Structure 1
Amino acid sequence: MSKPRKPKGRPVSGWLILDKPVDFGSTEAVSKIKWLFDAQKAGHAGTLDPLASGMLPIALGDATKTVPYVMDGRKIYEFTVTWGEERTTDDLEGEATETSVNRPSEEAIRALLPNYTGVISQIPPQFSAIKIAGERAYDLAREGETVDIPSREVEIFRLTLIGCPDVNSARFEVECGKGTYVRSLARDFGRDLGCYGHISSLRRTFVAPFAEDMMVPLAELTALEAIEDKQERLAALDAFLIDTGEALSSLPHIAITEDQAHRLRMGNPILLRGRNAPVAEADAFATCFGKLVAIGEIGEGEFRPRRVFT
C-alpha cells in the first residue's frame, strides 16, 4: 500500500488580515498569500468582489477551522452609489439595463435610510455566488439566463449617508450582518428613489472581530519577495500573522491545564468545576497558557471538544 502524500508547504497557522486591492479576486488573493507564506492550507472568511477593496481575512493552517466564526461576524462597508443607471451586475462591471435623468435630493436619500435599517428582505444580485438548482447564479447569468433568486432576510445594524459629492452620487457607510449584498442595497435605493443606481466604489473596513488597523496591504507583503534568504523572508511574513484564537474573541472562554489540554486533543471531554464554571454554551473555546486548544460546547458540567488544535 502506498504511503499517504506529504502535504506541500509549511504547517503555519494564523490569520492574515489582508487589505485587498481593487481588480484582485478573493480566490486569487488566497492563492497568492498561500504561496507567499508557503502554507499547507489557506482560506478566506467572506468573498470580496474584484472591484471591491479592503479587509479580506485569510486563514492559514489550523486557523481555517475558525473561518465559520468570522463569516458570522458583523461587517462594515463604505460605498458610493452612482445614480442614473441600473446595471446587470449592480456595479461598474455590468451593462446598463435601465436609465433615468432623475436625481434624488439629499433629503430624499436620508428619508429612505430608515426603511433599510433592521431586519430587511433582500434579493441577491443576478451575478452572485447564490446557488440555484446546484449552480452558481453568476455562472447562469454569464450564460445569458435570468434566474429567479428568492429574497432572504438580512440585518442592517447601521446605515449612514456620509455625503453627496455631486448630484450624480452619494457615499454611505453600512454595518451589516452575514449574507448582506451591498450591491443589492444600491440597486434597491435607486429603484425606491425613482432614479436607478449602482455601486461605483466599495471598500470593506471591518470584519468582526478584526479591526481596521490590523489590515496589511498586499504590496507590503509582496515587497518581501526581495529577501533572498527563504527563512528570513518567511520569518518577516510570519510577523504579520494574528493568533488563531483572535477569531474567537466573541465566544465564552475557559482556561485549562496541560492535562486537560491533552485530554481534549485526544477528543475526550473534560469536567468543569468551580462556582464560576459556565453551565451551558453552544460554542466556547479552551486555551492552555494562552494557546488555543479546542472549540466545543459546554453542558452538564463538561466541555466537549468539536474541533481541536495542535
Structure 2
Amino acid sequence: MARRRPATTHGAVIVDKPPGPTSHDVVGMLRRRFGERRIGHAGTLDPSATGVLVIGIGNATRLLRFATASHKSYECEIVFGVETSTLDAAGEPVTTWHMDLDPAEVGAAAAGFIGAISQLPPMVSAVRVGGRRLHEIARSGQTAERAPRDVEVYRFKVEPSDDPLVYRAVVDCSAGTYVRTLGADLGTALGGGAHIRALRRTRSGSFTLSEAGPPTEAELRTPLELVRDLVQILVSDSEAIQARSGVHLVDARYDGSGPWALVDPTGALVAVHERVDGRLRATVLPS
C-alpha cells in the first residue's frame, strides 16, 4: 500500500517576533506549527530585537526575494557614552566617554546620515566572509576584513528621553542597513560613542506591526501577499493554464520594467514575470 504523502502548506505569515529567539528559532516554531519543512524569512532580526518578520512557507519561499528588496522602519533607543562589543545592549562595554549632549546638535548630527551612506557590517552580523558568517567568526574570537556596503537612510529622527544620555530614534532605511552601526556612528560623530537597545522593526516593505502576530497565532496568508506590492496583471483561465506551464505571455499589459504578478480570476497567484536580458520570462512559478 502506497504511503500517503503529507499535506503541504503554502503561504505567508507576518510574525511579530518576540525578544529572545533568533529568526531561525521562529522558523523552527512555524515548521512545527504547520508541519512544513520549507520555510524561510525575509530579513534577519537579532535575538534581542522584536517586530515584523516576513515568513514564506512551502512554495511561497520562492517569492521571498520580492519581500526583501524593500525599505524597512525601526524604533530603538540610542545610549550615548558607552560603546559595546556588539554595538547593542547585548554586548560588553568596551569604551566609555563623558558626553554632554545638546538635543539640537544630536538632531543635526543625525540628519547628516540621511541619504546614501556607506556602512561597515558589524562583526556580529550574518554577512558571510570566506564562507563563514561574521557572527560565527566573532564568537571564535577572531575578526575578518569586511567590505563596506552602500545603503540609504530616508529618515533618522532622534529625540531626548528623561535620561540625558538616552535618545529615542526612528529610522526608515533601505534593506541591508545596520541600525546598530547607525547608532554607533552617530555617537562617533558627536565626539564619543554609543550603542542601541530595544530595537523594534515596525515595518518591512508594506508589512506593518498592525497585521503581525506572535509565531503561535499569526494567520496564514496566501502566497500573493508576498508580492502584493508588485504590479498585478489579471489573466484569464486559459492564460493561467499557459503561464503555469511556463509559457511566457507577451502583450500590452506588460508596461514598465516589472516584475509583474500574474493573478487568475479567483485572485490566486499564477506566476511572476520579469524581464531577463530584455525578454519576458516566468521567473517564479509558485505552485
Alignment deviations for residues 12-33 of structure 1 (CA, whole Å, 9 cap, x no partner): 1111111111111100001101
For residues 44 and 271 of structure 1, what CA distance do their matches in structure 2 show? 32
Of Structure 1 and Structure 2, which has the larger fraction of its residues in helix?
Answer: 1
> Does 1:292 pair with 2:269?
yes
TM-score by length of 1: 0.86
Report if the CA contact (8 A) 2:63-2:286 is conserved.
Answer: no
Paired residue for 2:285? 308
> Does 1:245 pair with 2:224?
yes
Unaligned 5+ residue runs, structure 2?
none
Amino acid at match of 1:306: T
For residues 6 and 138 of structure 1, what CA distance do their matches in structure 2 show? 42
Report if the CA contact (8 A) 1:209-1:247 is conserved.
Answer: no
Alignment deviations for residues 137-187 of structure 1 (CA, whole Å, 9 cap, x no partner): 111111111222121110111111143231121010001101100010111
After TM superposition, the structure 1 = structure 2 runs for residues 45-56 of structure 1, keeping only pairs within 5 Å, are: 45-56=42-53
After TM superposition, the structure 1 = structure 2 runs for residues 200-279 of structure 1, keeping only pairs within 5 Å, are: 200-218=197-215, 221=217, 240-272=219-251, 277-279=253-255
For residues 85 and 306 of structure 1, what CA distance do their matches in structure 2 show? 48
After TM superposition, the structure 1 = structure 2 runs for residues 30-179 of structure 1, keeping only pairs within 5 Å, are: 30-179=27-176
Paired residue for 2:26? 29
For residues 118 and 133 of structure 1, what CA distance do their matches in structure 2 show? 30
Amino acid at match of 1:251: L
Structure 1 residues 100-109 or 48-57, which shifts more? 100-109
Residue 270 (structure 1) shift? 2.1
Residue 10 (structure 1) shift? 3.3
Residue 302 (structure 1) shift? 8.1
Report if the CA contact (8 A) 1:279-1:298 is conserved.
Answer: no
For residues 126 and 10 of structure 1, what CA distance do their matches in structure 2 show? 41
Q: Which has the higher contact order (CA 8 A, sep 6+)?
A: 2
Residue 298 (structure 1) shift? 5.4
Amino acid at match of 2:220: L
Residue 279 (structure 1) shift? 4.1
Residue 263 (structure 1) shift? 1.1
TM-score by length of 2: 0.92
Q: Name the SS of the counterpart of 1:295 in structure 2.
A: strand
Unaligned 5+ residue runs, structure 1?
222-236
Amino acid at match of 2:154: F
1:161–1:280 Cα change, 3 Å: closer
Residue 249 (structure 1) shift? 2.4
For residues 69 and 165 of structure 1, what CA distance do their matches in structure 2 show? 41
Q: Name the SS of the counterpart of 1:78 in structure 2.
A: strand
Q: Name the SS of the counterpart of 1:195 in structure 2.
A: coil
Q: C-alpha root-mean-square deviation of aligned residues, in Å?
A: 2.3
Moved over 6 A (4+): none
Report if the CA contact (8 A) 2:107-2:159 is conserved.
Answer: no
For residues 241 and 271 of structure 2, what CA distance do their matches in structure 1 show? 11
Residue 117 (structure 1) shift? 0.4
Report if the CA contact (8 A) 2:80-2:165 is conserved.
Answer: yes
For residues 66 and 162 of structure 2, what CA distance do their matches in structure 1 show? 37
Report if the CA contact (8 A) 1:83-1:103 is conserved.
Answer: no
For residues 10 and 182 of structure 1, what CA distance do their matches in structure 2 show? 40
For residues 115 and 14 of structure 1, what CA distance do their matches in structure 2 show? 41
For residues 302 and 109 of structure 1, what CA distance do their matches in structure 2 show? 50
